[in-house]
Structure 1
Amino acid sequence: MLTALIVEARKLNRSLALLLAVAAPCLIGVFIFFNMLRGKAPMAWEMWMGSSAGIWAFFMLPMSVTALTALVAHMEHGPKAWDHLRALPRPRWTTYAAKAACVLLLVAAMSLLNLAVTWGAVRAAATIKPVLEPTGDLALMQHLTVVGRMWLAAILLTAIQFWTAMRFASFVPALAIGIGGTFFSVVATAAEAGVFFPWQMPVNMLATEAWRVNVALGLGGGLGALVLILALSHLSAREVR
């Protein structure tokens, strides 16, 4: 399993995955930077960090997962390399598990990078316009906890996207599901049932009602792990792609 993980990490290093991992959080940082410069009075750290986390969980996280899983799958679908990989003298599930682990680890790294980039954007804007120096405490551990919960709650949508991207040689089904899921998440933001919708589970980590946080976290993390196991079992059992 460790060998498979190292191989997949090296493949990602030679792909556009790292560019995606940097670009997505940086886009949020650029938005926060220019939005802050438009202000005339200082605002709390909580507002800026919370806004960044909301944008990440609401839109950029699901779209990044969609693009990342499609990219990881296409590295094998494109050159039709599955026959070679599945013929290697190791359990087939390790290949898929390594790919899933790389996706999850990269999403976690992007989540942390988003925090760092947001902090840098706020500091840069405050340097240019000192009157906007943010007030209050940064409360870094609180934000780290929220980001960690978002990552856990996103495991279900990640598992769905991963399963679809690996199952179909064309990237269209995975992109369609990802774009569709994000679209319905946006247009149905206020829906009470959104807590049960995989694409809304990460953003529910910002909810004020404790039950929404707990339900979304339990379903996103617990059910997500189960779906991921089912995906690995199904994909490794398929003889023909």
Structure 2
Amino acid sequence: MWTVLSVEIRKLNRSLALLLAVTAPCLIGVFAFFNITRFDQAGPWDRWLLTSVGVWAFFMLPMSVTALTALVGQMEHAPRSWDHLRGLPVPRWRLYAAKALCVLGLVVFMSVLNLAITYGAVQLAAVVKPAIRPTGDPALLQTGWVLAKVLAAALLMIAIQFWAALRFASFVPALALGIGGTFFAVVATAAKQGVFFPWQMAVNVMGEGWRHDTALALGGGLGTVALIAAVAHLAWREAR
């Protein structure tokens, strides 16, 4: 398994995946910097850090997963290299599992980088405008725990996007699914039923009560099952 995974990592190093992984968090950092400098008075650290996590969960995470899974799928679809991969003396499920692990690893990396860049953006804003230097403690551990729950709740959405990107040779179905899912998640943010919508689960887990518990249980629990099922279905389909 490690050999297959290392090959996938080398493929990502030669692709635009790392550029995407850095660009998306940087955009949120730029937004955080200019948003903070609009104020004339200081605010607490957790306001800025949790706002960054909220923006990530609400919009940038779904769009990044859409682009990332489409990119991973096209690495094999575009050059028609699946026939070569399926001819290797390796269980086919490992090929898809390695790609899924790479996607999850990059999403985790992007999430942590988003938090780090936001922290730096706030510090830079405080240097440029000392009057708005945040008060209190950054509470990075607590913010990191919220971020971990966001990632867990997003697992179902990631599994769906991953399956669509590898199932269809064209990148259009996966992109349409991701854009459509993000669109409905944005326009129906306040809908009570939104907690059951995979593209809204990441942001719903930042709340409290039943919405938090439902989003975390469905997104994390059902998402794990869905990702395993996606790998199994893709491997089974190619074996026929």
Q: TM-score range by the shorter chain?
A: over 0.9
Give how far 1:239 is off.
3.5
Identity value in percent: 66
Does residue 179 (structure 1) correspond to residue 179 (structure 2)? The answer is: yes
Letter in 2 for 1:100: A
**TM alignment of 1:165-176, pairs within 5 A:** 165-176=165-176
Does residue 227 (structure 1) correspond to residue 226 (structure 2)? The answer is: yes
| C-alpha distance in structure 2 between counterparts of 1:29 and 1:6, whole Å | 31
Give how far 1:210 is off.
2.3
Letter in 1 for 2:66: T
When structure 1 is superposed on structure 2, of 228-237 and 48-57 the one drifting more is: 228-237
Aligned position for 2:152: 152
Letter in 2 for 1:220: G
| C-alpha distance in structure 2 between counterparts of 1:80 and 1:4, whole Å | 18
1:25-58 CA-to-partner distances (Å, cap 9, x unmatched) read 0000000101111111111111111110110000
CA RMSD of superposed structures (Å): 1.1
SS of residue in 1 equivalent to 2:170: coil
| C-alpha distance in structure 2 between counterparts of 1:205 and 1:217, whole Å | 6
Aligned position for 2:104: 104
1:94-148 CA-to-partner distances (Å, cap 9, x unmatched) read 0000000000011001000010000000000000110010112211110000001
Letter in 2 for 1:211: W
TM-score, normalising length: structure 1: 0.98
**TM alignment of 1:64-75, pairs within 5 A:** 64-75=64-75
| C-alpha distance in structure 2 between counterparts of 1:210 and 1:110, whole Å | 28
Does residue 237 (structure 1) correspond to residue 236 (structure 2)? The answer is: yes
**TM alignment of 1:6-85, pairs within 5 A:** 6-85=6-85
SS of residue in 1 equivalent to 2:178: helix
Does residue 217 (structure 1) correspond to residue 216 (structure 2)? The answer is: yes
| C-alpha distance in structure 2 between counterparts of 1:84 and 1:240, whole Å | 14
| C-alpha distance in structure 2 between counterparts of 1:211 and 1:5, whole Å | 38
Letter in 2 for 1:175: L
| C-alpha distance in structure 2 between counterparts of 1:140 and 1:233, whole Å | 37
1:62-118 CA-to-partner distances (Å, cap 9, x unmatched) read 000000000000000000000000111010000000000000011001000010000
Letter in 2 for 1:134: P
SS of residue in 1 equivalent to 2:220: helix
Which aligned segments of 4 or more residues in structure 1 are displaced greater than 6 angstroms? none
SS of residue in 2 equivalent to 1:42: coil
Letter in 1 for 2:97: A
Gaps of 5+ in 1: none
SS of residue in 2 equivalent to 1:170: coil
| C-alpha distance in structure 1 between counterparts of 2:238 and 2:57, whole Å | 36
Give how far 1:240 is off.
8.1
